[in-house]
Amino acid sequence: MSFDKIRFILACLILGFSSMVSQIILFREMIISFFGNELCLGALLFVWLLWVGVGSKLGERLYPKNASFGTLFLWYLICSFILLLTIFGIRFSKIILGIMPGEITSFFPMLFSSFLLLSPLCLLWGIIFVLNSRFWEFKGLPSFLVNRVYLWESLGAGLGGLLTTFVFIPFLSNFKIIFCLLVLNLLLSALIFFNIKKKLKSYIFSFLTCAFILVVIFLGIDKTLDDFSFSKLWRGFPIIYSEDTIYGNISVTKTEEQTTFFENGLMLFSYPDQYSAEEAVLFALSQHPHPKRLLLIGGGLGGAIAQAQKIKDIKIDYVELDFKLIGIAKRFLPEEEILSLDKAEIKFTDGRLYVKNKTKKIGYLYDVVILNLPDPYTTQLNRFYTKEFFRMIKIILDFDGIFSFRVTSQINYISSEQSLYLSSLYRTLSEVFEKLEILPGPNAIFLASSQRELTSDWEKMVANLEKNHVEAEYVNRNFLFDRLNPQRISNLKSSVFSKSGKVNTDLKPISYFYNTILWSTQLNSFEKKIFLILKDVKSIWYLLIPSLFFFASLSFFYKKKTKYQNLALSAIFIVGFSNILLEILILLSYQIFYGYIYSKIGLILTAFMLGLSGGAFLFERKSKIKPPDFRWLSKLQLLQVILPLSLLFLISYFSKSQTKGFLIESSLLILITLSGILEGLEFTSANHLYIKEMGEKNLGTGYSIDLLGSALGSILVSVILVPLLGIPLSLLLAAFLNFVCFIFLMSSTLGIPYES
């Protein structure tokens, strides 16, 4: 293999590798700086894909002919330092926007910020993709070189996703990872620059590059920059510790006697906070005369476990996902809190997976189960507030056991948006449990049981606590007399019953969307009106409008003289749209049925990206035997119809059966790999046909259209399709759009003119 071919492969591999790693790390940084639910993540993915697509088209215009070694070297060199500047920009963004640490940001300021902050880097990725497609002079048509770039870039991205999840994130901070990417791109720049005929300049630049890297590492400049930039996120807050874990960032601040823990920029708990600790567990325990076994899912730190241990001889199982959180807490919380933790049985796993595994045991396990997690403002958290999860809770409870959780509310006035949100949770709970009670306060306390009569009578609750010798500072006679007065209880229940919020399920996580509406109302943000309109639109319109629009667009393009070019681009667009939709839905399905996704996300992303490179490789093998035509493209398009229907069949089967975890995992991994292979095959085939018709000047168009389709799909599936249409209907929409494209492609191969 020649030196030029080695450099070509390295350039493409590092392009994909850097793009994937920086995407994961910068998204983590954005989540720390801004409110991070799927709505925001969908928007970030939309911005990223859109700007890379724009960069690809821009590169096509900037370099209509072959570029020089110096040009490629310059762009990789610029990219090295833009990586570092981007993470600085994200960390300084709250100062620029005037947002305080721990404050939730509304959707549009976050979208606007990400649009500006991510644009330089994403534009560079798109331009460099086109440069790699034009620069390297090998035998063959230009379209084949584009497809080779696509192949090696996809392979690099797959390796990047795998290493980031399993190697980089567990052992390096976000800033360290970005610095490693800077080093990698600098070394590649030196390798590319080494081709210039003036060898002396090549040696000097290579020496200076290595010297710069060694000086920065030796003097610890990277750590100094990391500490300095991170401190800007917490201006005015005396931060005493911060650590990146595989689940996000944990930061600890201390003001006088108050120690506060933050996860991804949002407050987890403060210590001491007696009020919150008592509220978390004593309302539920006051409903049971003699609770002996308690399951606490999340939120055990900050005093909740210590409050539960006031019940004599109670056995506590505490489920906590992030084991590092416990270790950090033991460093900064007082000895009495650490002793209470040591007396509980701590399970380091996903709460839903733990409950699912316990349902397989014979006999009841718990008298009380308390869910002490944040509101369902993400689909990850929403899994703990669905009808399916409540059914699992019912199985592990005694016949008269009690289940409890609390969510954000208001102690007196309940707004219309708040009522809708609480109504959805109440209706979902009532689908599973026969006995329900809801208690008013700044947090509404939900109580449920199959047999036990629950009460909002504060005197009965206090009597149970006193019977168990529980002394409380807040959950006592004086406090409950005020909080649980009959008027407040009546107002809360009438507000909840006045709305008809939809039942929250795994496959249609509507409560998370209601929570988004609630936050947009409290922040008085622009998107509130849009979300309120969307929630009342019937599902049929979400199916009909995209289908009719796509059908009309294809009908229009079909009549043009550039029919075949338009059909090729339409196939690229719809494969980008439907495959990002399929990828996100597979991730959500994996999360729902397998139980957790954190340690597996790298494997899932890698499977998809390796599938892309495998599809591009298969195209190369096929094209040597027989070049692709529109009949071949039609066959691939038909397979795109089958893919979402296959996932629909799988999730329908998994939801009705007790399939073992490894079968679910392997089935979804196989499907996402097939999805990647098929997208890689169809993109390279359609892009080859398009460039064959249009010529070498349009090398970046197909790639930009693919990313545009992916960008649109990512934001639609996150904002609208998953919460409002649900996973099954979203898959049907993807299948139908692909079928429409298949009909037009088939029509072009039959020589039958289309009549609209």
Nearest to 309 by CA among 323, 321, 292, 326: 292
Residues 416-429, mean pLDDT to the nearest whole number: 94
Q: What's the pLDDT score for residue 597?
A: 66
CB neighbourhood size of 49 (10 A) = 26
Neighbour count for residue 552 (Cβ, 10 Å): 11
Which long-range contacts (C-beta less than 8 Å, at least 24 apart) are formed by 747-751?
747/558, 748/558, 748/563, 748/564, 748/567, 748/630, 749/629, 749/630, 749/631, 749/634
Entry field: residues in the chain: 756
C-alpha angle 622-626-632 in degrees, rounded to nearest 5:
75
- For residues 209 and 651, give the distance between their C-alpha atoms in angstroms, rounded to a whole number: 52
User: What is the rounded distance in angstroms from the CA atom of residue 730 to the CA atom of residue 714?
Assistant: 12
pLDDT of 397 > 90? The answer is yes
Q: Point out the least confidently predicted range of 190-194, 210-214, 721-725.
A: 190-194
In single-letter form, the type of residue at position 94 comes to K
- Mean pLDDT across the stretch 498-511? 90
pLDDT tens string 635-692: 999 999 999 999 999 988 888 777 777 788 888 889 999 999 999 999 999 988 888 7
- The pLDDT tens digits of the residues spanning 232-266 come to 777 777 888 988 888 878 889 988 888 999 887 77
Number of CB atoms found within 10 A of residue 621's CB: 8
Cα of first residue to Cα of last residue in the chain, in angstroms, is: 53
User: How does 461-500 read in b/e, with b if 16+ C-beta sit within 10 Å?
Assistant: bbebbeebebebeebbeebbeebbeeebbebbbebbeebe
Half-sphere CA count of 338, side-chain side, radius 13 A: 9
pLDDT digits (tens, 9 = 90+) for 61-96: 887 666 666 677 788 888 888 988 999 988 888 777
Q: What is the pTM of this model?
A: 0.87
Q: How confident is the model at residue 505 (pLDDT cuts 50, 70, 90)?
A: very high
| Cα–Cα dist 717/737, whole Å | 14
pLDDT of residue 297: 96
755, pLDDT greater than 50: no
Q: What is the pLDDT of residue 102?
A: 65
Contact 261/267 with Cβ under 8 angstroms? yes
Quote the tokens at residue 416: 């219309």
Cβ-based neighbours of 198, under 8 Å, separated by 6 or more: none
**Using 50, 70 and 90 to split pLDDT, how confident is the model at 578?**
very high
Question: Which token pair is 548?
Answer: 């009719």
Does residue 396 carry a pLDDT above 90?
Answer: yes
Q: What is the pLDDT of residue 754?
A: 40
pLDDT digits (tens, 9 = 90+) for 275-306: 999 999 999 999 998 999 999 999 888 889 99
Residue 39, pLDDT score: 64
Q: What is the pLDDT of residues 37-56, one digit of tens each?
A: 666 677 788 899 999 999 98
Determine phi and psi for 138, rounding to 5 degrees.
-120, 170
User: Which domains does the chain carry?
Assistant: 1-236 (1.20.1250), 278-522 (3.40.50.150), 537-756 (1.20.1250)
pLDDT at 527: 74
pLDDT of residue 753: 47
What CA–CA distance (Å, rounded) separates 410 from 304?
22
pLDDT single digits (tens) 340-351: 888 899 999 999
pLDDT band at 629 (very low <50, low <70, confident <90, very high): confident
For all residues of the chain together, what is the average pLDDT? Answer: 85
23 touches 48 (CB < 8 A):
yes
Sheet bearing 239-245, strands edge to edge = 239-245, 248-255, 258-263, 266-271
| 223's tokens | 């750590």
pLDDT tens by residue, 707-753: 999 999 988 888 788 888 999 999 999 999 999 999 999 988 875 44
CA distances from 88 to 151, 174, 207 (A): 32, 12, 27
Cβ–Cβ under 8 Å, residues 502 and 424: yes
Is residue 22 scored above 50 in pLDDT?
Answer: yes
What does the alpha-carbon distance between residue 651 and residue 530 come to, in Å, rounded to a whole number?
30
